[in-house]
Amino acid sequence: MESNIVFSNCTTQGVRIQRIARVQNGSLCHFTTILKWYILR
């Protein structure tokens, strides 16, 4: 459940941070989002 909360937070804030400025945390969340989407696809 904890990972789900972190993932949800990454999908919303991570992508937003990625668009504003490419920071390591934002890139990591963005990469995780793409990776999970690719696996679940």
Could you give the number of structural domains in the chain? 1
Tokens at 26, concatenated: 């934002």
Domain of residue 18 covers: 2-40
Q: Which residue type, as a one-letter code, is found at position 18?
A: Q
pTM beyond 0.85, yes or no: no
> Would you state the pLDDT for residue 35?
78
Q: Which tokens sit at 38?
A: 């690719």
Which residue is it, tokens 């789900």?
A: 4
- Quick: pLDDT tens for 7-36: 555 566 656 655 655 555 556 666 777 778
Q: Which of 2, 1, 4, 18 is CA-nearest to residue 36?
A: 4
